[in-house]
Amino acid sequence: MSEQDLEQLVEKIILRVLQRIQADEELSKLLKIDDASGKDSWARTCASYRPEASAAHPEVEQKNTLAAPEKKLYTENDILEFAKSGQKLLLVAQKTLITPAARDAAKRKGIKIKVD
Residue 30 is predicted with a pLDDT of: 64
**Secondary structure (DSSP) of 13-75:** HHHHHHHHHHHSHHHHHHHHHHHHTT-S-SS----S--HHHHHT-GGGGSTTEEEPPP-SEE-
**Tell me: the pLDDT tens digits for 18-70?**
777 777 777 666 666 544 544 434 444 444 334 444 444 444 444 445 555 57
- Closest C-alpha to 91, from 50, 34, 42: 50
Contacts of 61 (CB under 8 A, 6+ apart): none
What is the pLDDT averaged over residues 102-115?
93
pTM over 0.75: no
Euclidean distance between the first and the last CA atom of the chain, given in angstroms as a whole number: 35
Higher-pLDDT residue of 32, 15: 15
pLDDT, one tens digit per residue, over 74-106 is 999 999 999 998 889 998 888 889 999 999 999
* Sequence ranges of the domains in the chain: 3-115
